[in-house]
Structure 1
Amino acid sequence: MDPLAPLLDLAEVAPAFASAREAVDAAHKHRALRRHGGQVAAEASLRAAVASAALEGNTYDLEEVRGGTVTDPVVQGALRVAESLPGLVDLWPRAPRQVLAKLHVLAARGVVHDHELGRLIGGAERIDALAGLVAGNETTPPMLLAAIVHAELITLRPFAGPAGVVARAAARLTLTARGFDPRGLVGVEAGHLAREPEYVGSAGAYATGTPDGVRSWLRHYAAAITAGAEEIRVIGDGVLAAV
């Protein structure tokens, strides 16, 4: 039995998820991915990192980050995290706590004291429960599992410093590891940033634990996925135009 299955019965959640799935499937068929998939993936990763840092309050121009002139430690951490994700996909469903610690080391280096890197500052029981939900879970629909992983980590903030970067990376790993977005192209972070007030508000609503609060978050997550799929089209069009 999937313990998260009842969440799909909340009003308007299943249709929102289905629509987001369709948007992602369509984006994965973009012509640019046939011959220039590596370029699209690299650009998507860069934009995701910049957006994730911005959601922590560290906002910089994309071109400045691309040019290597931004030394902000949170931005640099987000870039390190984005670069590390392909190598953590296989480990995530087998050892989620180990991966979370690794993500925090990458994200928070230069932001928090060294002795805090990779160490929980609270919420150990909920992290254990979340790890149990992730490990070996092939039942929960990937988008739903990613949404819950993200929400639990963003509301709990179990690590010091840029814990949100860790939360968003863990959600992305979930989508990739479960085959929803196997090439890691969907810029969900950009979707969250484009709807930042809703992102913050729905996360707060989720933290209340009420059905309406959880529904609010899940609907936002579907909207962010849809926006992330649109980002693939934008990047793909740009790559083709430059060829």
Structure 2
Amino acid sequence: MSDLVRAVESLQSLPGVAQAVEDVRESCTQLRWHPALRRRIPEAATESRVRGAKASADLEGAEVGIDTVRDLFRGAVDWPTEPGPVEQTLRAAVQATAESEHVQSLVLSAPAQALARLHVAAGAPLLPDDQVGRPRLDGEDCRELVELGPAPDAAEARRRLQGVIELVVEHDKAPALLIAAVVHAEIASARPFVRGNALVARAFERALLQAGGLDPTGVVVAEAGHARKSAVDYIGALTAYTSGGTTGVRLWLLESAEAIQAGARAGARICDAVLAGRVRDL
């Protein structure tokens, strides 16, 4: 058993964490029984991914209207042939979020493969081909998420990524919320890729929530939950996880629980709109 697995097993004893786990489970269960999800799961799940992609891009500073994101997501309009930084980041967010649907069947049994596929999706618009779909090599740096402090060197980042993989393989050792939250924070803070780390972290979290059974329909918009305040608040919570010791880890876990509950409420609004035939009016 890895150190990370042992650490996650103990997190439920932190003040408020066990209750947060139960609150998230209840919110996701309520969403699961929404009338729209009896027959119209694909429609609701697609809109969830659209809104998740927008929120993920927003957190990267690439704020684009939801109608534009939806049209790009479903291929109704073409991507610019000469994209600027905003379009590149948006495309990375859209592709990673879309790919989360396809890797959720792999994420628990082959997490390394799922991570590689998500990074191919997120990294292709951002990086040269030879840096896509793999962790950083020795000598390669990452200059993302500088608010968290300097990125670990490549060897340390790969070691921590291996810990993430081991944690996911042993996902039955802790509640799905804790696994997803810690994996999200570990990828973002270790920064194992040259670029696209937070995008991959959020897409991987989405896949974990679905594959782990907390959100089996894939309608929770966890990304929107993380973006519900501001990117500054999101980065602040990640910074607490990275450098705040046990208190900081607890803060991140509670913040993640609130984000997923907010994501479940966003999913319920999507379901209401699906039933009313008014998804574009959300």
Structure 1 range deviating more: 54-63 or 185-194: 54-63
Tell me the C-alpha RMSD between the 2 structures: 1.7
Do 1:30 and 1:236's aligned partners in 2 also have CA atoms closer than 8 Å? yes
Structure 1 residue 44 corresponds to structure 2 residue 48: yes
Please list the CA deviations of residues 103-132 of structure 1 after superposition, one character each: whole Å capped at 9, or x if unmatched. 111111121111110121220111111111
Do 2:57 and 2:90's aligned partners in 1 also have CA atoms closer than 8 Å? yes
Q: 2:192 aligns with which of 153, 158, 166?
A: 158
TM-score by length of 2: 0.81
Unaligned runs of 5+ in 1: none
Give the C-alpha shift of residue 77 in structure 1: 2.1
Do 2:9 and 2:173's aligned partners in 1 also have CA atoms closer than 8 Å? no
Structure 1 residue 35 corresponds to structure 2 residue 39: yes
**SS of residue paired to 1:67:** helix
Distance 1:129 1:209 in 2: 20
Q: 2:102 aligns with which of 78, 81, 87?
A: 87
Give the C-alpha shift of residue 5 in structure 1: 2.3
* 1:11 paired residue number: 15
* 1:77 paired residue number: 92
**SS of residue paired to 2:135:** coil
Equivalent residue letter for 1:91: L
Please list the CA deviations of residues 71-122 of structure 1 after superposition, one character each: whole Å capped at 9, or x if unmatched. 4122222222222223212222222222212111111112111111012122
Give the C-alpha shift of residue 22 in structure 1: 1.1
Structure 1 residue 195 corresponds to structure 2 residue 210: no
* 1:215 paired residue number: 250
Distance 1:160 1:176 in 2: 27
Structure 1 residue 224 corresponds to structure 2 residue 256: no
**SS of residue paired to 2:39:** helix
Do 1:202 and 1:217's aligned partners in 2 also have CA atoms closer than 8 Å? yes
Please list the CA deviations of residues 150-181 of structure 1 after superposition, one character each: whole Å capped at 9, or x if unmatched. 01011112112221110011111211121111
Q: Identity over the aligned pairs, expressed in percent?
A: 37
Unaligned runs of 5+ in 2: 81-86, 137-153
Structure 1 range deviating more: 42-51 or 174-183: 174-183
Structure 1 range deviating more: 179-188 or 75-84: 75-84
Distance 2:166 2:99 in 1: 23
* 2:168 paired residue number: 134
Do 1:103 and 1:166's aligned partners in 2 also have CA atoms closer than 8 Å? yes
Give the C-alpha shift of residue 23 in structure 1: 1.2
Distance 2:277 2:228 in 1: 25
Structure 1 range deviating more: 132-141 or 43-52: 132-141
* 2:126 paired residue number: 111
Q: 2:209 aligns with which of 175, 179, 192?
A: 175
Please list the CA deviations of residues 209-236 of structure 1 after superposition, one character each: whole Å capped at 9, or x if unmatched. 5110001000000000110010111111
Give the C-alpha shift of residue 136 in structure 1: 4.2
